[in-house]
Structure 1
Amino acid sequence: MTESDAYPPIEAYALVGNLETCALVAPDGSVDWFPFPHLESPSILAAVLDAERGGRFRIAPSDSFETDRRYVDDTNVLETTFRTDDGAVTMTDFLPPAGRTGHPKKVLYRKLACSDGPVDLAVDLEPRFDYGRAETSIESTERGVLAEGDEERTLLESPTDLEIGDGRVTGELSLQDGDEEWFMLRCTGAEDADTDPEAALEETLAFWTDWAHSCDDGDCAFEGAWHDPVVRSELVLKLLTHAESGAIAAAPTTSLPEDIGGVRNWDYRFNWLRDAGFTVQALMNLGTADEANHYFDWFMDLCQADDPEAIQPLYSLHGESDLEERELEHFEGYRNSRPVRIGNGAAEQRQHDTYGELLLAVDEMHRHGRELDADEWERIRDIVDYVREIWDEPDAGIWEVRGGDEHFVYSKVMCWVALDRGIALATDGGYDAPLEEWRESRERIKADVLENGYDEDVGAFVQSYGSDALDATGLLLPIVGFLPFDDDRVQGTIDATEATLVEDEVFVQRYDGDDGLPGDEGAFVLCSCWLVDALALSGRVDEAQSRFETVLEYLNPLGLVAEEIDPETGAHLGNFPQAFSHIGIVNSAIYLGYVRGNETPGPAPMGIRLGDPVGLPSDSP
């Protein structure tokens, strides 16, 4: 078996989940990634990180086959249809969403329905608890085959006899036209639970159908060629939202490489506070106010629990701060991309942009009618006061570089944003604040950035003071209101970004400077969306739409996208699917729809009301 055979392309995977954890399903019917009981928990199945030692659960035809896959309408229920020379079988994969049905959430259901037969299928379960580190015992029981590790266990309930050998569970079955059978992988806590699989499927479909965005009530903010990708992005974001805490994971995976065979492999199964502002905007405009409020309450609780200095860039989905970064040395990594990491050392970094993002989110929620109580405002005021103290210090920046702290321009701008939104909140809400001091600091930051962050020779805002490297975050300066879109320095930054960071007219690199790590990386989907936004709000609407539709062509056939795209091959790179990539898609659709006259729920998006866009059609809302 070749390396490419052992590891499907990243973009080949599908995602299912239960609002607490997720599983990646390969086109050949193999579940290759399944942490349990939560996304940030150790894995039961991790063949995506080590084809030999990671573990998998595969059901597929014994003979050669072709595969078609789809999600059932606007749901997170996956259908994989296998077609052989003799027939066809459709496998339906899902987990019931936590607390949303009367069925156990800790069961991975796999339904097989034969529409043309006969089809012979092979079953192969290789449980590897605790990232393959735990001793595993496997034995037959009255209910099926039970596998146990140190802390977790699984029970595979099967319609066919199963055999145990060499740490694997195998079986065979043959289906005729019209046959239907169920496999259930019952995880810790659900081994003996009563289940009605057909009812579980029906209720899971009903939940997702009722929850997903619908245009039944008239005009849609996402009307256009991008409507379906936006709905799929919404469904991905919901899958990455933890039902209990409301936190949203950056991705459901760890260590899928940004550089195949390289070291740029990170654990993204956590929530980055810096994602807050644009996440809230996306959620509110999608009409998912409950999720936006739940997420808002979660990060406000974190801010109230910690002094501003102690606020971390990222936390676990349960608010835990200890995210010690470790390496799984026994795993070879996806296509030999090592090290495989769990935890993330960026939690210990100083990232000053985080404070601006938090204030963006608070301001966004406030504009949608969310009032702040006295305790919440006290915490926000403390954050703004803290930003006044530290804005002129270096930090690790939004990209979490590991080559040392710098005076990053975007970090300074987001400190300005923290002051600016704090002033707006205090003024609009009548909250007590030292407004004169805040305004003075806001002006000092802006003057400093204009003097040191803009390079006359480059004709653009640069990545850090004293550098001539460009950074895609420069595209956000007008969107967050730092300067208007028609400012020559803003337009120069857009032009310089296009000339330096853009490949094949659509793919945008994060930056062109050194980040202290070896190897290359792909183009960031999120940054490509930022360019779309900047162009659309600069009046270059047709160009923005053309670029956006090209970006959407690189989504996988199921509408999912990773963190990055390889501009040369179109292959997906990095963790998959990536929340921020899908947030970028939603927000770009908001901006494009808005400048073309579509109505959006609630107040205008931040790039409209703050950045003084140009060239809007006369009938824009």
Structure 2
Amino acid sequence: MSAPIEDYALLGDGRTAALVSRAGSIDWLCAPRLDSASLFGSLLGDVEQGHWTLRPADPDATATRRYDGDTFCLVTRWESAEGVAEVTEWMPIPPRDDTTGAPAPQGGDRTDVIRRIAGVSGRMAFRQELRFRFDYARALPWVRQTGTDLAPELTATAGPDAVVVRGGALYPHGHSHVGTVEVGAGEHAALTLTWFPSYRSAPPPLDVGASGRETAAWWRDWADGIAHEGGHQEDVRRSLLILRALTNRETGGIAAAATTSLPEDFGGERNWDYRYVWLRDAALTLEALLGHGLADEARAWRDWLLRAVAGDPADLQIMYGLAGERDLRERDMPSFPGYAGSVPVRVGNGAAEQFQADVFGEVLMTLGAARRAGLAESERSWSLQRVMLRQAEKQLDRPDNGMWEIRGDPQFFTHSRVSLWAAFDRGVSAVEKDGLHGPADRWREVRDRLRAEIDEHGVRDGCFVQHSGTDEVDAALLLIPRTGYCAPDDPRMLAAVERIEQTLMRDGLVMRYRTATGVDGLAGSEHPFLACSFWLVEQYAVTGRTAEAEALMDRLCGLRNDVGLLSEEYDPIGRRQVGNTPQAFSHLSLIRAADALAARRHRKR
């Protein structure tokens, strides 16, 4: 069985990512992109689905780990009775041509993982075990020795994928390959794995030392652009780095998470593929990046958006592939037994075909924020926003699946209706305040109609409700003030917060909604959603409940694992992370909550 979700650290190269456990096992790796088929997949089953383990031969050796500053170079310090050694692991980011900006030769045709062992004291033997399972554990590759005694090399091939492993002799053991590497004080050994298209020759070995320096420098140079004043500095910086790691450095697409099908309900069916670009999540991520001085990412994402949604506005999707692909058909992968027996394991996501009305508002609000931050509006980008408003108006009377992507009957969700209001509000503002051209009178009329409807049907007994026709509440209501629809201390908001505290809190953390109502059309339940809990921090902060905000913030930040990662949800009973990881929604919400607390402290001063 795979390790607890919080035991995994992330390695990333800006195109894909590997998850390595505290025990030294890379249990998840897709190449060359996050949404490619897996090479190692034991995260969703056991060793049969593929892994690459490197750890001391002494079973009693203990490990502590950290990232090397503002990078994704992971340093694990192993200690045993025989000695001490450190393993530094990273995924190189290929250098780019200074003139064209394109990846250096072969940079786009290879994905590398490097594991460098350094002896600190005594002697330590490391055992590695390698088991390949390509194509979501459906393909057992042809593996052959292709090196020499002085330069051992193992090559595995199946279909379009090939991998070459260098640096240590590996010998067959059943369907695995095993080997031992030993280092003493001051000695080094480097193990490298390189994915490449099987129809090409194996790429040449990397200069490991230069690669480590260049990759660390790339991450540090990017992190040097982070602007953050206030508390939780380390938490915010690491969260921004995680958002950058989930952003494809070539396309600008921002993935919601690095994994698929890590369950929201252990043993249940709430298992989804999050390796794609949700317009909502990406827009909120973009706001977080903009708020911390990272404008280049904003420009790249806007360009990605223009490409992804080009064409007939009626074909607008709520999510796309990392390069803007539209075909995200959901299918089951029976080759995986599932994390903790949670099946089905899914690839693709059927939510791409849903109607989620709030997306119009999220995109319009974010592009408006980018405009205010100094990102000049192009004729094409403003044309896109006008087209989106035209399409939104055609959908005004259509119930939707909401931001939680329910698979039950569509509803008129209050958060979705407020987000539609925000879309037209930003359209009016763009004309009246920014001097752009558009039918402001028409948009104002639609905006006012939506407000009247929300005030009548989205409020019951003075409290915002989940959707028309119910008195249930939903944590998405906590996002209403950020749209400008009402103030955070509006009586309807305060009533909704009180109802959320009464009905959606579990051990002090916030659930998305009550699954027992059946609104989502799924069996089973789930755990508190970390983003929602950070939203409550923000609500507390902006309404003066500062002590409660700070206490909840400290608790939530304490749920990060030892290298600062958060998944989607948290199980307060089992005291463990739940759901896909690392989750962009959780980290961007952490950043917003930290900013709200910082603003509150500034106002008090």
| TM-score of the alignment, normalized to the shorter chain, above 0.5 | yes
Residue of structure 2 equivalent to 1:377: 382
Q: Does 2:245 align with 1:260?
A: no
CA shift for structure 1 position 321? 0.4
Q: Does 2:492 align with 1:489?
A: yes
Residue of structure 2 equivalent to 1:38: 33
Out of 89, 93, 97, which is 1:97 matched to? 93
SS of 2:43's partner is coil
Residue of structure 2 equivalent to 1:51: 46
Residue of structure 2 equivalent to 1:308: 313
Q: Check 1:214–1:434 CA distance in 2 against 1; reply closer, same or farther (3 A cut).
A: closer
Query: Can you give the 5+ residue segments of structure 2 that lack an aligned partner in the other structure?
Result: 97-102
In terms of mean alpha carbon deviation, does 118-127 or 168-177 score higher? 168-177
Residue of structure 1 equivalent to 2:159: 150
Q: In structure 2, how many angstroms separate the alpha carbons of the residues matched to 1:407 and 1:123?
A: 55
Matched letter for residue 75 of structure 2: E
Q: In structure 2, how many angstroms separate the alpha carbons of the residues matched to 1:375 and 1:234?
A: 29
Q: Does 2:297 align with 1:291?
A: yes
CA shift for structure 1 position 326? 0.6
Structure 1 contact 560–577 (Cα < 8 Å) conserved:
yes
Q: In structure 2, how many angstroms separate the alpha carbons of the residues matched to 1:477 and 1:111?
A: 49
Matched letter for residue 509 of structure 1: M
Out of 6, 16, 19, which is 2:14 matched to? 19
Q: In structure 2, how many angstroms separate the alpha carbons of the residues matched to 1:11 and 1:93?
A: 18
Residue of structure 2 equivalent to 1:606: none
Residue of structure 1 equivalent to 2:99: none
SS of 1:38's partner is coil
Structure 2 contact 357–417 (Cα < 8 Å) conserved:
yes
Q: In structure 2, how many angstroms separate the alpha carbons of the residues matched to 1:180 and 1:156?
A: 17
Q: Does 2:474 align with 1:471?
A: yes
Q: In structure 1, how many angstroms separate the alpha carbons of the residues matched to 2:338 and 2:446?
A: 47
Structure 2 contact 256–282 (Cα < 8 Å) conserved:
no
CA shift for structure 1 position 214? 6.5
CA deviation vs aligned residue, 1:584-614 (integer Å, no higher than 9, x gap) = 01111111111211xxxxxxxxxxxxxxxxx
Out of 163, 167, 180, which is 1:172 matched to? 180
Residue of structure 1 equivalent to 2:364: 359
CA shift for structure 1 position 436? 1.3
Residue of structure 2 equivalent to 1:587: 592
Q: In structure 1, how many angstroms separate the alpha carbons of the residues matched to 2:496 and 2:230?
A: 30
SS of 1:596's partner is helix
In terms of mean alpha carbon deviation, does 517-526 or 166-175 score higher? 166-175
Q: In structure 2, how many angstroms separate the alpha carbons of the residues matched to 1:276 and 1:148?
A: 35
SS of 2:128's partner is strand
Structure 1 contact 281–587 (Cα < 8 Å) conserved:
no
* Aligned-residue identity in percent: 38
Q: In structure 2, how many angstroms separate the alpha carbons of the residues matched to 1:204 and 1:130?
A: 28
Q: Check 1:319–1:277 CA distance in 2 against 1; reply closer, same or farther (3 A cut).
A: closer
Residue of structure 1 equivalent to 2:559: 554
Residue of structure 2 equivalent to 1:604: none
Normalised to the residue count of structure 2, the TM-score between the two structures is 0.94
Residue of structure 1 equivalent to 2:130: 125
Q: Does 2:193 align with 1:185?
A: yes
SS of 1:259's partner is coil
Residue of structure 1 equivalent to 2:510: 508
Matched letter for residue 400 of structure 1: E
Q: Check 1:569–1:561 CA distance in 2 against 1; reply closer, same or farther (3 A cut).
A: same
In terms of mean alpha carbon deviation, does 478-487 or 523-532 score higher? 478-487
Structure 2 contact 330–349 (Cα < 8 Å) conserved:
yes
Q: In structure 2, how many angstroms separate the alpha carbons of the residues matched to 1:122 and 1:269?
A: 32
Alignment of 1:344-355 (within 5 A): 344-355=349-360
CA shift for structure 1 position 98? 4.1
Query: Can you give the 5+ residue segments of structure 1 that lack an aligned partner in the other structure?
Result: 1-5, 598-615
Q: Check 1:311–1:99 CA distance in 2 against 1; reply closer, same or farther (3 A cut).
A: farther
Q: In structure 2, how many angstroms separate the alpha carbons of the residues matched to 1:144 and 1:250?
A: 36
CA shift for structure 1 position 99? 4.0
Normalised to the residue count of structure 1, the TM-score between the two structures is 0.91
Q: In structure 1, how many angstroms separate the alpha carbons of the residues matched to 2:184 and 2:228?
A: 47
CA deviation vs aligned residue, 1:199-222 (integer Å, no higher than 9, x gap) = 11011111111211468xxxx634
SS of 2:42's partner is coil
Matched letter for residue 481 of structure 2: P
Out of 480, 483, 487, which is 2:483 matched to? 480
Q: Does 2:75 align with 1:84?
A: no
SS of 2:39's partner is strand
Residue of structure 1 equivalent to 2:456: 451
Residue of structure 2 equivalent to 1:605: none
SS of 1:429's partner is coil
CA shift for structure 1 position 44? 0.4
In terms of mean alpha carbon deviation, does 196-205 or 496-505 score higher? 496-505
Q: Does 2:75 align with 1:70?
A: no
Out of 520, 524, 534, which is 2:525 matched to? 520
Q: In structure 1, how many angstroms separate the alpha carbons of the residues matched to 2:29 and 2:573?
A: 31
Q: In structure 2, how many angstroms separate the alpha carbons of the residues matched to 1:435 and 1:497?
A: 36
CA shift for structure 1 position 490? 1.3
CA deviation vs aligned residue, 1:483-516 (integer Å, no higher than 9, x gap) = 11232111111111112112223x1100124211
Residue of structure 1 equivalent to 2:242: 236
Q: Does 2:194 align with 1:204?
A: no
Residue of structure 1 equivalent to 2:414: 409
Structure 2 contact 510–533 (Cα < 8 Å) conserved:
yes
Structure 2 contact 181–189 (Cα < 8 Å) conserved:
no
CA deviation vs aligned residue, 1:536-568 (integer Å, no higher than 9, x gap) = 111222221221111111111111000001122
CA deviation vs aligned residue, 1:321-376 (integer Å, no higher than 9, x gap) = 00010101121001111100000000000111111111011101010112222232
CA shift for structure 1 position 164? 2.1
Q: In structure 1, how many angstroms separate the alpha carbons of the residues matched to 2:233 and 2:380?
A: 40
Residue of structure 1 equivalent to 2:550: 545
Residue of structure 1 equivalent to 2:257: 251
Q: In structure 2, how many angstroms separate the alpha carbons of the residues matched to 1:117 and 1:518?
A: 54
Residue of structure 1 equivalent to 2:399: 394
RMSD of equivalent CA atoms: 1.6
Q: Does 2:322 align with 1:317?
A: yes
Structure 1 contact 455–468 (Cα < 8 Å) conserved:
yes
SS of 1:148's partner is strand
Q: Does 2:221 align with 1:221?
A: no
Q: In structure 1, how many angstroms separate the alpha carbons of the residues matched to 2:41 and 2:282?
A: 29
Matched letter for residue 187 of structure 1: W
Structure 2 contact 277–321 (Cα < 8 Å) conserved:
yes
